[in-house]
Structure 1
């Protein structure tokens, strides 16, 4: 059964609104608009494009509270984390507005029998398939460099972030990028159709390994350029001469940010036996310091998982681990999507 775009509060389980998939005519209109806009936008100077990115950064700063609240109610991100995310997006706008022209400047090299050069040219409309864990950072981190390079963007955001996706549309329009950034609520079949469309020149995906394999294979079959940013499984290794408390603090911060839903966080800890007991005790004490609950409350550090099915998966992992001999040292209870 096809997934749908549903705006739902993962803490209260309140459903705000269901969003239908884009119609065929809406998809066609967006592809046409993106392709036509590229013809004009790609010819603009870096300074002209930088003005729009600078304006976007300013809008993000002005709306940081509103955007953080939207992330809190739609995917459970605590307010302070949300504000930091929005400000990071604004800094990204500033960086590329100031540096893109230099980063993409032509390079030439002299050779004994002639000359060679590197020239960066815009590609065209790019399909952006983004995940739920950083509702604004992920689409902006991907789109900002592309926009400064002269490309246009069609965004397919995560199915549980429809209001955030519409907000991306709204604030890019406010920054003068109405035709250059277009959001579409696409089904999986529609994603396949868009990738196959000759007007799309590249695909960027951040998500699971499974999704990456499927999209990369499809893009390759149509000879489209693609970038895949997929999940990780990094170890956190603590040797016997380590500062245990600072190691514990680093692990807890890295593991609990975004309620653990970030590909760069450590997925497992490997502890030298000489410090294992000390580390376990310090770890339980450090986790206990974190305040969890309603992500719209200022003091909350740890909100719910972004979807209830993710909490289902985590609960099963805990139960399976205990069945195989693991011990629950702290917590382990569940309330809705909050663990």
Structure 2
């Protein structure tokens, strides 16, 4: 079902029809036609479009943020912050892509040679609900600047956010087909990947969805970028500023109600400071205000859906049944809507679901370890490899620990956070390829060699 269901009330607000094959063909034809002209526009023209998109987002921030909160339950202040982040992404690429797309000379003894980054066509973006504007901006901004066009298949539970992004591009003056919203079910992606007009595919989502998309892309010899799940380690060394680490752990784990790939899911603390950290961390979770995510005083809002809540609760119960201990929380909140208590689990061992599985919700897994080597070993004992954090007053020590962690991103003495100027992506089962920074604009371009004889 493509529909808006308010997780605060669990009531369906609005439904949308999926595109028919005929309607889809018309949209693909328009996108393909748009590419033929958009690829020949100047960097200045593309930049002007993205700057106007960013400006409109800021002007309409209240409306845009309210849609996020309505459709997936994010606290309204965090929704407003997401809108601001998106605007900064569009501005970043508008201002920096001229440098990113410059010809790259190659020194040769006999003549001239250079690499030119050229657009390749329609990029299909398959995006998730947890950051419904930001995830799209990270794909759309660099590709529109590169001269590609974008077709969006958004998560089925944020259809109004998806339509709003298309409207922003239209209102900013984008030619029809430069950005196209497609109301489609996931099962139609494989067939769409086979369409010769689709030049590349990018997905942020689950391992299962990523595997399916990668199979379809590979079968059709098309480039893909995947940003999948994560079980990020948050390591606190014995010389860390514990108060800082506690504050950052709380924000890193429970922001967006814990529904983030790069959330601090596994908190690993050296024994010397483990008790102090755990007690202070526990205190942070007590007495928080539960309520309407549209109310700026609310501290605990709903999860995205009943289905997501039930899946998380099942993982927690199975982990506790296997011998783990709930320190705080551990159950749904008895009220209307998809509300779950902010939770800390301790005593987790390898046999338990919480050890190996991603907990996509407001549940922190806490581990006390004897030394630095044990922290690194535990951090790496996962199939995921998205992000991580290390806390220590000795920055060189922290960098050494970071160097031994098998992830795509490590932040020291701060939470892992998405920034336009920093590359974003993972390794192992967390996917491949990079978004944001100069690297993000290089994923879906033809790195064309041009050689001129002497």
Q: Give the TM bin, normalised by the shorter chain.
A: over 0.9
Match of 2:5 in 1: 8
Give the 3-state SS of the residue equivalent to 2:265 in structure 1: strand
- Which digits, 9 at most, give the CA deviation of each residue in 1:152-207, with x for residues without a partner? 11100001101111111111111112421111111233211211100000001111
> Aligned pair 1:135/2:136, yes or no?
no
Cα pair 2:77 2:296 within 8 Å, conserved: yes
Alignment counterpart, residue 163 of structure 1, candidates 149, 160, 163: 160
Displacement over 3 Å in runs of 4+: 289-292
Match of 1:247 in 2: 245
Distance 2:143 2:249 in 1: 34
Q: CA deviation at 1:289?
A: 5.8
Distance 1:295 1:100 in 2: 37
Match of 1:281 in 2: 279
Gaps of 5+ in 2: 341-454
Paired residues in the alignment total: 336
Match of 1:150 in 2: 147
Give the 3-state SS of the residue equivalent to 1:160 in structure 2: coil
Give the 3-state SS of the residue equivalent to 2:130 in structure 1: coil
Match of 2:411 in 1: none
Give the 3-state SS of the residue equivalent to 2:290 in structure 1: coil
Alignment counterpart, residue 80 of structure 1, candidates 77, 91, 109: 77
Q: CA deviation at 1:52?
A: 0.9
Matches within 5 A, 1:221-236: 221-236=219-234
Distance 1:98 1:242 in 2: 38
**TM-align CA RMSD:** 1.4
Distance 1:54 1:271 in 2: 44
Give the 3-state SS of the residue equivalent to 2:18 in structure 1: coil
Matches within 5 A, 1:201-220: 201-220=199-218
- Which digits, 9 at most, give the CA deviation of each residue in 1:49-89, with x for residues without a partner? 11111111110000111111111111001111111111111
Q: CA deviation at 1:258?
A: 1.2
Match of 1:292 in 2: 290
Match of 2:87 in 1: 90
Distance 2:241 2:104 in 1: 47
Match of 1:32 in 2: 29
Distance 2:230 2:312 in 1: 17
Give the 3-state SS of the residue equivalent to 1:333 in structure 2: coil
- Which digits, 9 at most, give the CA deviation of each residue in 1:85-114, with x for residues without a partner? 111111111111111111101111221344
Residue range with higher mean Cα deviation, 280-289 or 120-129: 280-289
Distance 1:29 1:107 in 2: 38
Distance 1:179 1:289 in 2: 50
Residue range with higher mean Cα deviation, 274-283 or 46-55: 274-283
Gaps of 5+ in 1: none
- Which digits, 9 at most, give the CA deviation of each residue in 1:277-327, with x for residues without a partner? 222211111122643321111112332111211101111122122212222
Distance 2:165 2:181 in 1: 8
Higher helix share: 1
Alignment counterpart, residue 314 of structure 2, candidates 313, 316, 329: 316
Residue range with higher mean Cα deviation, 52-61 or 316-325: 316-325
TM-score, length of structure 1 as denominator length: 0.95
> Aligned pair 1:118/2:115, yes or no?
yes
Give the 3-state SS of the residue equivalent to 1:159 in structure 2: coil
Matches within 5 A, 1:47-86: 47-86=44-83
